[in-house]
Amino acid sequence: MAAKDTLTILNGKWKIQIITTLNYSGKLRFMDLLRLIKGIAAKMLSKELQDLETNQLLKRTVLSTNQLIVEYELTPHGKTLERIINEMRLWGKLHRKKITGDK
């Protein structure tokens, strides 16, 4: 059941990319995320950010300035996914080598 919960939260094409981007870049504005995550549509990014915020993996901060500025950053709880995502990346590399026969 716990593995299913994890997969449900990280489900989809974009969530791991968003988490990884925020992990390496720190606080980012919406347009920065849109630029850095190739291929994601603004509507999809907005939806995924809302899901991650609901699951307390990222924090959304609205800055009081003349124009609306919103920054996103991982919460301490969101940062705990770094090790898991790195392990998935390493496993993916090993798996690709095994399947393709690369050394």
Q: Tokens at residue 40, please?
A: 């994601």
Q: Is the model's pLDDT at 26 over the cut of 70?
A: yes
Q: Could you tell me the residue ranges of all domains in the chain?
A: 2-100
- Average pLDDT of the residues in 18-29: 96
50-97 per-position pLDDT tens digit: 999 999 999 999 987 788 889 999 999 999 999 999 999 999 999 999
Res 82: pLDDT: 92
Res 68: pLDDT: 84
Instruction: Compute and round to an integer the Cα radius of gyration of the chain.
Output: 15
**Rounded to an integer, what distance in angstroms lies between the CA atom of residue 50 and that of residue 27?**
16
Confidence of residue 48 (pLDDT cuts 50, 70, 90): very high
Q: Is the model's pLDDT at 101 over the cut of 90?
A: no
Contacts of 32 (CB under 8 A, 6+ apart): 25
Contact between 95 and 55 under an 8 Å Cβ cutoff? The reply is no
Phi, psi of 75 (to 5 degrees): -80, 165
- CATH class of the structural domain 2-100: mainly alpha
Confidence of residue 42 (pLDDT cuts 50, 70, 90): very high
pTM flag (> 0.85): yes
